[in-house]
Amino acid sequence: MTAYAVLLGAGAGLMAIGGMIGGILALGDDVAAGLVLMAVSSVLAILYFLLARGLWNMRNWARIIIIIFQILGVLISLLQISLKIVIGGSISAIELTAFIFGLAMAGYVIYWFASHGEYFRE
């Protein structure tokens, strides 16, 4: 759980840095798009940081949000792979392996956070 919070916090920092760099690069072509990219990435980075901090402090609301995000991720992955098969007709072995690995990881995260609620406080 601590590793998950640290990785989430690191992801927040990278999202902020990447959004700023991408926004600065986009400013040359389209000022509005660059500013929107910087604003959206900053807001998302702050939200991810707050979520990481909530996990670090063992807050139950953060645990519930992680479970919801992981379930949404699984549903989106299932939709994505289904559309890939319907539209493309087939998927490569690498895509299938990545899909199965991603589902397994998300399933484990959902299981862990759902079954260890006693460690978190309101």
pLDDT digits (tens, 9 = 90+) for 39-90: 999 999 999 999 999 999 999 999 999 999 999 999 999 998 888 888 877 8
Q: What is the pLDDT of residue 88?
A: 78
pLDDT at residue 41, rounded to an integer: 92
- What crossing angle do the helices spanning 31-56 and 2-27 adopt, rounded to 10°? 170
**What pLDDT was estimated at residue 52?**
95
- Smallest Cα–Cα separation from 66: which of 3, 112, 35, 99? 112
Q: One-letter amino acid identity for 45?
A: A
pLDDT > 90? residue 1: no
pLDDT at 23 (0 to 100): 87
Share of the chain above pLDDT 70, in %: 99
